[in-house]
Amino acid sequence: MSNQGFFAAGDRIQLTDPKGKLYSFTIVPGKEWHTHKGWITHDDLIGMPEGSVVSTTAGLKFTAFKPLLADYVLTMPRGATIVYPKDAAMIIGMADIYPGARVLEAGVGSGALTISLLRAAGEKGYVHSVERRADFADNARSNVDAYFEGAPANWKLDVGDLQDQSFDSEFDRVILDMLAPWECVDIAARALRPGGVFMSYVATTTQLSATAEAIKEDGRFTEPESSETLVRGWHHEGLAVRPQQRMIGHTGFLIQSRRMAPGVEVLARRRRPAKGGYGVSED
């Protein structure tokens, strides 16, 4: 995407009306964008700076910007539920996806998280994605290519099960978004370098528990840590400042751990187990 601050042919543009409703389309010379109150000619948008106010032929006004990544992934075609921007941001931050990182991703879905991983890893990094469903992979490839205006040279997408893959080198990070990530703890351990980060995104507490226990039983990872992210917006009209009635609540859990050095025993976490946490005693 162009970052020069001006709209050009082929750019994605986002128009916002006074009520806050968003509209997005790609600028194509010669085309028109129609509303219930007039239309806007694409040619008139080319060369216009971001942050401009544009009007339809009937006087309906919109603020014009290029969409942020969060805007793009929320409006792009979906074949599967996306990883929401709030969770993608936490994954990038907590898994420490840095420029030059080698990332293994499994469970691509619609490609929302893939785009964030590619941006964070940068041109010197590398993202290897694995998706078991061919239709999801095709949709993800289309969304990723559209966002980067072409297929990223540092991205590989394979169709199949993660357990069936073989890798030529070690990865710095393994990110899983799938129904049964506990089944992939072993291959994640084999794919990760010592000190590498394992992170999984799961929707339910049963998935969270199964993944945590699999990590502990594997013996090659540190004690897993889990969290969820809640985002609540606020209204602010003069002195009337209050939380919004609706919020982006639970979307999923994040569970992460780090790869131990080969042959090194994990230090046991010293804590008192929760009552009934491991079933009822036979005594």
- Residues of each annotated binding site for S-adenosyl-L-methionine: 110-113, 131, 161, 177
- The residue count of the chain comes to 283
Please report, as a single letter, which amino acid is at residue 213: E
Q: Per the structure block, which two tokens stand in for 98?
A: 């840095």
Annotated binding site: 110-113, 131, 161, 177
Contacts of residue 70, defined as CB under 8 A and 6 or more positions apart, other chains included, come to: 85
d(CA 121, CA 127): 8
Per the CB < 8 A criterion, the answer to whether 88 and 77 are in contact is no
Give all strands (DSSP E) within the chain, no chain letters.
12-16, 22-26, 32-35, 38-41, 52-55, 61-65, 102-106, 126-131, 155-159, 171-176, 192-202, 225-228, 234-237, 240-243, 253-258
Spatial strand order in the sheet of 225-228: 155-159, 126-131, 102-106, 171-176, 192-202, 253-258, 225-228
d(CA 102, CA 120): 11
d(CA 76, CA 146): 10
Q: Is 159 left (phi over 0), alpha (psi -120 to 50) or beta?
A: beta
d(CA 160, CA 168): 17
What is the end-to-end Cα distance of the chain in Å, rounded?
Answer: 65
